[in-house]
Amino acid sequence: MKILVTGGLGYIGSHVSVLLLEKGYEVIIVDNLDNSSISVLKGIKKITNLSPVFEKLDIRDYNQMKLFLSKHNDLSGVIHFAAHKSVSESVENPLKYYDNNVLGFINLYNLIKERKIPLIFSSSATVYGNADSVPIKEDAPIKEAFSPYGKTKQICEEIIRETTKSNLSTKSVVLRYFNPVGAHPSGLIGELPNGKPQNLIPFITQTLIGKINKLMVFGNDYPTEDGTCIRDYIDVMDLAEAHIKSLEFILEPKNDKNFEVINIGTGKGHSVFQIIKIFEKVTKKKLKYKVTGRRKGDVAVSYADCSKAKEILGWTSKLSIEESIASSWNWENNN
Tens-digit pLDDT profile for residues 120-169: 999 999 999 888 999 999 999 998 888 999 999 999 999 999 999 998 88
d(CA 246, CA 16): 12
- Residue 140 has a pLDDT of 96
Amino acid identity for residue 304 in this structure:
A
- Residue 39 has a pLDDT of 96
* Position 251 confidence tier, pLDDT thresholds 50, 70, 90: very high
* Reported CATH class of domain 2-181+233-265: alpha beta
pTM of the full predicted structure?
A: 0.96
Domain ranges of the chain: 2-181+233-265
Strand partners, 53: 28
Backbone angles phi, psi at 192, to 5 degrees: -125, 75
Indicate whether 195 pLDDT > 80: no
Per mean pLDDT, which range of 169-173, 192-196, 257-261 is the poorest? 192-196
Helical ranges in the chain per DSSP H? 11-22, 39-48, 62-71, 87-92, 94-97, 104-114, 148-166, 200-208, 236-251, 272-283, 307-308, 321-333
Active site residues: 149
Cβ atoms of 7 and 243 within 8 Å: the answer is: no
Q: How much of the chain is in helix, strand and coil states, percent to nearest 5?
A: 40, 20, 40
Determine the length of the chain: 335
- Residue 50 has a pLDDT of 98
Indicate whether 27 pLDDT > 80: yes
Indicate whether 178 pLDDT > 90: yes
**Of all residues in the chain, what percent carry a pLDDT higher than 90?**
88
- 179-181 and 233-235: which strand pairing? parallel
- Residue 84 has a pLDDT of 93
